[in-house]
Amino acid sequence: MAQTTVGFITTEHASSNRDPSAHADYVLDKWATDIQDGSRNYSLGVNSWDDRTAELNNPDGTDDALEQLKNDSTVQNIINETPVWDAVVVIDDRDYQFAVGGEVTEIGCAGPWNGEDAIAYMTADGEKIHTAHEVGHLHNARHGDAENWGWWEFTIMAQTNVQTCNNNDLQLTRKGRFSGCATNKIRDYIDNQM
Ligand SMILES: [Zn+2]
């Protein structure tokens, strides 16, 4: 049965307001609602660790943070663990003044057969919905797979002022969730790339 697994950790400066288990639970809830089907196909397995933390040495931007995390021993240990973790999300709690929410090493890189390690870096300002957004990117979901009705009304993969799927006039009940377009893209990725 096709499924995916994501591990969540924080940085060496872990604090209670950046609890990785809270982010894992949030993403799991969104995934169970919109990505997993009635037979539990496309399900998401999550875990988080309080005692395993990544180290960052004063990164100068999100690209630098991701480069450091690719070489971080804790991140590498989790990615290479058995049973396999298809991706790792690192939630930072230090404000380096480049807050953007999050970034991934590459869009569509979760799973064992990609060229890049599947890592998402969440900046200090990253809310839980941003974490779900980045986990979507790790599974090949794009901004164009989202729907967007305004500044506070959008589906998870949305970025403001970008072209969105379904001409923005459908699926109003999907606000704050994965749109149907994103669901299709993510399921297709799990079927064919993982
Ligand atoms: Zn994005």
pLDDT one-digit tens code per residue, 1-36:
689 999 999 997 666 668 999 999 999 999 999 999
Q: How far is the CA of 63 from the centre of ligand 1 (A)?
A: 14
pLDDT confidence of residue 174: 83
DSSP-derived secondary structure for 92-159: --S--S---SEEESSSS--STTSSS--EEEE-TT--HHHHHHHHHHHTT--GGGS-EEETTEE-TT--
pLDDT one-digit tens code per residue, 129-155:
999 999 999 999 999 898 877 777 889
The pTM score is 0.94
- Bridge partners of 104, per DSSP, are 120
Q: How far is the CA of 107 from the centre of ligand 1 (A)?
A: 9
Q: How far is the CA of 109 from the centre of ligand 1 (A)?
A: 14
The CATH number assigned to the domain with range 3-142+180-193 reads 3.40.390.10
Q: How far is the CA of 137 from the centre of ligand 1 (A)?
A: 7
Q: How far is the CA of 176 from the centre of ligand 1 (A)?
A: 14
Q: How far is the CA of 171 from the centre of ligand 1 (A)?
A: 20
Q: How far is the CA of 157 from the centre of ligand 1 (A)?
A: 6
